[in-house]
Chains A and B, each alone.
Chain A
Amino acid sequence: MLAAHRRAHRWIWLLLAPALAALLVAALAARPEWPRRPLDPAAAERAGADDLEPEGAPPGERAP
């Protein structure tokens, strides 16, 4: 491979790797149901939260 081509390759991946990682994290964080696991209800109660999923709800499902 030509030196310029090799350099271009290196730079592309040095930039692409963190960009793709950031994109994945942002996309996961943007999911409406993310994070999917309900918080520990006892800890939530201590913190005063009252609209959490009940314990034992199937992952990702809202209480009726």
Chain B
Amino acid sequence: MSHGYQAVGWSPFKKRYDLVLGGLLAGYLALFSLATLLLRPEITAETLLIRAFGTAALLLLHAVLAIGPLARLDGRFLPLLYNRRHLGVTMFLAALVHGALATFQFHALGDAPPLVSLLASNTRLDSLSQFPFQQLGLAALLILFLMAATSHDFWLAQLTAPVWKALHMGVYLAYALIVAHVALGALQDERSPLLAGALGAGVVAIAGLHLAAGRREAALDRERRAAGADGFVEVCGVDEIAEGRARVVTLGGERVAVFRYEGRLSALSNVCRHQNGPLGEGRIVDGCVTCPWHGYQYLPASGASPPPFSERVPTFRVRVVDRRVFVDPRPLPAGTPVAPAVVSESGGGG
């Protein structure tokens, strides 16, 4: 959190995650090489490596892009989100090896410097089948580099979460460039329908998942609730909120999470200070609201992280009348303590 940085805050879980990731990548590269050598024994070592790393990066990019909407659609995918950045950096490294090998193979042996050759040797912008697809790959690689280089929490804090998130939406542009790079490059020469089918399926899956998750979010955003004379808005019944969990509602265009814990209710902004994660989809752990994405914690009654951390989120006034929950939609400044509404477990409510 905010009390200092180290290169990577290693935990046993992260170590295991990276070991599994490294093992899967090595396994994939070995399998791909073996299968290619069996099917096309005439292939050169350079081409084999270019293809192995290129397809590995493409697969990893699909995994990176699928995790976000999957976690929004089904909470069981949340553990994958926790170390998504490690997956992203691994994907960038695989893409970098692919790009470096391809530049060496196709552009290092001429008179022009390799990068000049890469940028200037093909200018057939008027032809789809001859399109300068390598430039598309280079542009995507530059975007992925920017994102990998700024993936650390240090940059997140320097840039602030909204700017960092906006910058990291560049991954969608990189994805479009890479799909174009493959479709106008490898797909033009590759006669087997396998690559075309896999790329098509990948695009359909990624776009479909994002559209489905977006639809769900839009439905929640459209919610409108009328305020009473005192400005409070009826949100739900007490019994609709499970112990240790929250109900998320949209009030005044932004989302508010109402948590129930130990016979009390507290409401705070649904937006985590770390990377805008959905706090209301988290749980109360050790008396703290715990973000489902990377585990940042906040005290439910004040929206402040417990010491030594210093993150704070806005809080909201809550009241319970006849076991119905009412929230004042006007946010209080981040970290403002609010007396929790007390819920008598036997009925009634206070």
Contacts and interface: CB of A to CB of B under 8 A. Distances in A.
Interface of A: 1-3, 5-10, 12-14, 16-17, 19-21, 23-24, 26-28, 30-33, 36, 59-60
Q: Is the interface of A mostly helix, strand, loop or mixed?
A: helix
Given A12-B169, A30-B129, A23 B179 contact: yes
A30 B196 CA distance: 13
B156 to A, nearest CB: 14
Given A27-B128, A27-B183, A30-B129, A13 B210 contact: yes
Nearest to A9: B214
B196 A6 contact: no
B76 interface: no
B128 A30 contact: yes
A29 B140 CA distance: 24
Contacts of B271: 1-2
Given A6-B221, A8-B166, 18 more contacts: A3-B221, A3-B254, A5-B162, A8-B169, A13-B210, A14-B214, A17-B208, A17-B211, A23-B176, A24-B196, A27-B187, A28-B183, A30-B128, A30-B184, A30-B188, A31-B188, A33-B191, A59-B191
B75 to A, nearest CB: 16
Given A3-B254, A5-B276, A23-B179, A10 B217 contact: yes
Contacts of A17: 207-208, 210-211
Nearest to B203: A20
A60 B189 CA distance: 11
A32 to B, nearest CB: 6
B306 interface: no
Contacts, number: 91
B14 interface: no
A3 B165 CA distance: 13
29 contacts: A1-B271, A1-B276, A1-B277, A2-B254, A2-B276, A5-B162, A5-B165, A6-B214, A8-B166, A9-B214, A9-B217, A13-B207, A13-B210, A16-B207, A17-B211, A21-B203, A24-B183, A24-B200, A27-B184, A27-B187, A27-B188, A28-B183, A30-B184, A30-B188, A31-B129, A31-B188, A32-B129, A36-B191, A59-B191
Given A28-B187, A60-B191, A23 B180 contact: yes
Contacts of B166: 5, 8
Interface in B142-191: 162, 165-166, 169, 172, 175-176, 179-180, 183-184, 187-188, 191
Interface string B332-348: 00000000000000000
Contact of A2 (B129, B162, B179, B204): B162
B253 interface: yes
A2 B184 CA distance: 36
B199 interface: yes
A23 B211 contact: no
Nearest to B270: A1
A24 B199 contact: yes
Interface string B36-75: 0000000000000000000000000000000000000000
Interface string B240-278: 000000000000011100000000000000010000111
Contacts of A26: 128
A12 B184 CA distance: 22
